[in-house]
Each structure stands twice: as structure tokens, then as C-alpha cells.
Amino acid sequence: MKPTNFEFARATSLAEAATILRQAAGTARVVAGGQSLGPMLNLRLVQPSILVDITAIPELTHVEEHADGVVVGACVTISDIEDGRVRVEELPILASVAGGVAYRAVRNRGTIGGSICHADPAGDWLPTLCALAAECIVTDGRRARRVPIDQFVTGAFEVMLEPGELLQAIRIPRPSRAARCGYYKVCRKAGEFALASGAVLLDGERDRFRAAIGATEGRPVVIADARMILGGIPRPGAAVRLDESAANELLGRAGLTTPARLHITALTRAAASAMAK
Ligand SMILES: Cc1cc2nc3c(=O)[nH]c(=O)nc-3n(C[C@H](O)[C@H](O)[C@H](O)COP(=O)(O)OP(=O)(O)OC[C@H]3O[C@@H](n4cnc5c(N)ncnc54)[C@H](O)[C@@H]3O)c2cc1C
């Protein structure tokens, strides 16, 4: 199958992109790397009146490092992250997660913002960024607002963007040097979409002990205090023992059939990989 006909515009500023989106009143679609949108167009799952290419908008490819975090433009590619363009000493997890997304050709074009806005529950970035307490910077071309990523994503393939809005950037708080982060996905072959995934951030200095479980029926399951299911803070090198009944309760509430062994394995391995470093 091929896409239905659509107009095409290449915006060069946030204001221009937002104006086109607003004028189309919900019938326009943003395109970044096209890695998810392309197949959706071909299958006619989306039939936009106009596609707005946002990759030439300078703000969207910026990476800014601040004392308290890093701001990554929505159109920064996954290869850029893999190759260390987003180089934050305390966040080596970003490059390692990037390296496990699909294969290089997809990573060369696919963007972090596209991945977040597509909101595929099986994707790698949502659970990772939920564990890191990232925020989405959303703009309507005039004003920007920050939304915690676990609120930005409202369900499977659903985000809270209004017509006329786009994702400008993702802000990731800088963990302390002593922080430990881990991500693990269960998949049949390296680089495939996750059947289950888990991410953890254990940062005693910042009093942040977060975990997220991905590849659920909807948005990631976020555990604001991971000590609850890890039985405290695991000791480096010691075996991680997850409270499976607490984890199953959370996963059952999120609509998964329990016991959710794959998801529990993914989170246990994510915590173990964090503590092994
Ligand atoms: C073969 C294959 C294997 C893959 N394997 C994995 C995997 O293992 N793990 C994984 O995580 N992902 C995987 N992916 C998904 C891939 O990572 C995403 O397709 C890609 O990152 C999406 O980014 P994009 O720039 O191509 O988005 P696009 O396809 O351009 O856009 C995706 C959606 O987001 C919207 N959008 C894009 N940017 C913005 C923005 N700034 N503001 C508002 N809306 C926006 C678009 O309108 C569209 O709805 C795979 C994809 C393919 C094709």
C-alpha cells in the first residue's frame, strides 16, 4: 500500500512549524526521521493533509549541558547519542541505550523526539527517560512549557500534544557522580523492540531511587521509590532481589497478565547492571 496524497512543508523555525500545525487544525503531521511515520503512512494508519518536516529548525538539533542537566533537542538522532554527541559523564546510560535501538540505519535517521512522540510502549527511550525523571519541553512556537515525561505520554502511541504544539527538547536532570543507572530489555535478537524492559536510577546523593518498566499495555509503569520493590538499596556486587508480589501488583494494575515474569526479569537485570558498574 502507498500513502494517500499530502502536502509537504519544510519549516525553518518553531513559529513557522507551529503556525502550519495550527492552521491544519489537527490534520497535519510532523515528520522528523520518518522511521516510524513512514510505515504508518504506507499502511494508511495516518492520512495527514500535510507533513511538516522539522529537521531544519536549529533549536531542535541543539544539545545544551547545564550544571543541573542536559537539554537534548527533539531532532537529535539516536546515532548522535550513541556516538557521544550528548556526552554527560554521569549519564553513560544514554549512549548504551542508543546503541541497542534497532540497527544503525534506523538510528542514523530516527530521532529521540520522534521516538518519544511515537510513544511505542516497546521502545527503549520511554522507560529509560522515565527512570531518569526527564521532562519534555513542549512549544507552540511562542511559549514553551515543561511536562514530566511520564505525564507527556498518556498511553500506548498517545502523547498530550495539542494541535499546534510540538516537542522541542528533552531535559534530563544530571544525576550525582555516585549515581547508578541501568537498563535492560528482553528481546529475541539484539536491537529488536522490547518484549519487556526495565530501567533504574539509584542516586543516594540526590535522594532519587526511581524505576520504570516498559513494554506494557500503555505508558511505562513508573516506580517513584524503587527501594519499595528492591528491598532497600542493593549493595554493589550483591544479588538483586525484587519483591515480585509488589512488582506484580503494580504490573497487574497497569493491565498486564501477572505473574509478569519477563517484566520482572527485565527490571531485576536493569538493577543488577546498575549495581555491577
Ligand atoms: C526496523 C525498526 C526497528 C526499530 N527498533 C527499535 C528498537 O529496538 N527500540 C526502539 O526504541 N525503537 C525502535 N524503532 C523505532 C525507532 O527508534 C523510531 O522509529 C524512531 O526513533 C522515531 O523517530 P523519527 O525521528 O524517525 O520519528 P518519525 O517517524 O518522524 O515520527 C514519529 C512520530 O512522532 C511525531 N513526531 C516526531 N518528532 C516530533 C516532534 N519533535 N514533535 C511532535 N511530534 C513529533 C511524528 O508526527 C510521528 O507521529 C525501530 C524502528 C524501525 C523502523
Instruction: Bin 249: left if φ > 0, else alpha if -120 < ψ < 50, else beta.
Output: alpha
Does 1 fall in a domain? Answer: no
For 192-219, what is the mean pLDDT?
95
Range from 97-101, 144-148, 216-220, 231-235 carrying the lowest mean pLDDT? 231-235
Residue 277 pLDDT class (50, 70, 90 cuts): low
Tell me, yes or no, whether 230 lies in a domain: yes
Considering only CA atoms, give the Rg of the chain: 19
Instruction: Assign 232 a pLDDT band (cuts: 50, 70, 90).
Output: confident
Q: With the CA atoms of 43, 166, 212 and 87 taken in that order, what torsion angle do they form, in degrees rounded to the nearest 10?
A: 110
Residue type, 205: E
Which band of pLDDT confidence, cut at 50, 70 and 90, is reported for residue 64?
very high
What total number of domains does the chain contain?
3
> Are residues 43 and 69 located together in one domain of the fold?
no
In 3-state terms the chain splits into helix, strand, coil percentages (rounded to 5) of 30, 25, 45
Please identify, among 173, 204, 230, the residue that sits at the C-terminal boundary of a domain.
173
Q: Which amino acid is at 229?
A: I
- In sequence order, what are the residues at sequence separation of 6 or more whose Cβ sits closer than 8 angstroms to the Cβ of residue 160? 147, 151, 152, 153, 154
In a shared domain, residues 237 and 154 = no
CATH number of the domain to which 11 belongs: 3.30.43.10
Residue 2 covered by a domain: no
Same-domain pairing of 47 and 79: no
Distance (Å, whole) CA 130 – CA 133: 5
163 inside domain:
yes
Residue 250 lies in a domain: yes
Task: Establish if 258 belongs to a structural domain.
Answer: yes
Mean pLDDT score across all residues of the chain: 94
Q: Is 81 found in the same domain as 25?
A: no
Closest CA to 14 of 51, 47, 58, 46: 58
Alpha-carbon distance of 265 to 260, in angstroms, equals: 9
Asked whether residue 250 falls in the same domain as residue 270, the answer is yes
Which of helix, strand or coil describes residue 146?
Answer: strand
Q: Report which of 40, 43, 49, 51 is spatially closest to residue 166, judged by C-alpha positions.
A: 51
Among the ranges given (25-39, 194-208, 226-240, 246-260), the one the predictor scored with the smallest mean pLDDT: 226-240
Task: CATH number of the domain at 254, please.
Answer: 3.30.390
All 3 cell numbers of residue 87?
Answer: 556526552
Question: Which single residue is written with the C-alpha cell 527512570?
Answer: 131
CATH at 74: 3.30.465.10
DSSP state of 28: E
For residue 150, pLDDT beyond 70:
yes
Which pLDDT score, from 0 to 100, does residue 267 have? 95
Residues 6+ positions from 204 with CB-CB distance below 8 Å? 176, 178, 233
| 36 alpha carbon – ligand 1 mean position (Å) | 4
Do residue 232 and residue 140 come from a single domain? no
Percent of the chain whose predicted confidence (pLDDT) is above 90: 85
Question: Distance between CA atoms of 215 and 60, rounded to whole angstroms?
Answer: 27
pLDDT above 90: residue 21: yes
Q: Is residue 226 part of a domain?
A: yes
Asked whether residue 100 is assigned to any structural domain, the reply reads yes
> Which residue range is the domain that position 148 belongs to?
61-173
The domain boundary residue, chosen from 173, 193, 226: 173
pLDDT at residue 111 tops 70: yes
Is 188 found in the same domain as 122? no
Cβ 128 vs Cβ 175: under 8 Å: no
Q: Indicate if 197 and 234 belong to the same structural domain.
A: yes
Q: How far is ligand 1, taken at its centre, from the CA of residue 51, in Å?
A: 15
| Helix 261-276 and helix 244-253, axial crossing angle in degrees, nearest 10 | 120
Residues 123 and 202 in one domain: no
Nearest atom in ligand 1 to 168's CA: 41
Q: How far apart are CA 138 and CA 135, in angstroms?
A: 9
Average pLDDT over every residue of 152-173:
96
Q: Which residue's alpha carbon is nearest to atom 12 within ligand 1?
A: 123
Percent of the chain with pLDDT over 70: 100
- CA 113 to ligand 1 centroid distance, Å: 8
List pLDDT tens digits, range 241-251.
899 999 999 89
Whether residues 111 and 35 share a domain: the answer is: no
Separation of alpha carbons 220 and 121, rounded Å: 7
Looking at the structure, tell me whether residues 70 and 149 fall in a common domain.
yes
Ligand 1: residues within 6 Å at CB?
29-37, 54, 74, 78, 101-102, 106, 109-111, 113-115, 117-118, 123-125, 161, 166-167, 191-193
Alpha-carbon dihedral sign for residues 33, 38, 39, 45: positive
Same domain (yes/no): 169, 94:
yes
Inter-residue contact 215 to 223 (CB < 8 Å): no
pLDDT at 256 over 90: no
Span 51-60, average pLDDT: 98
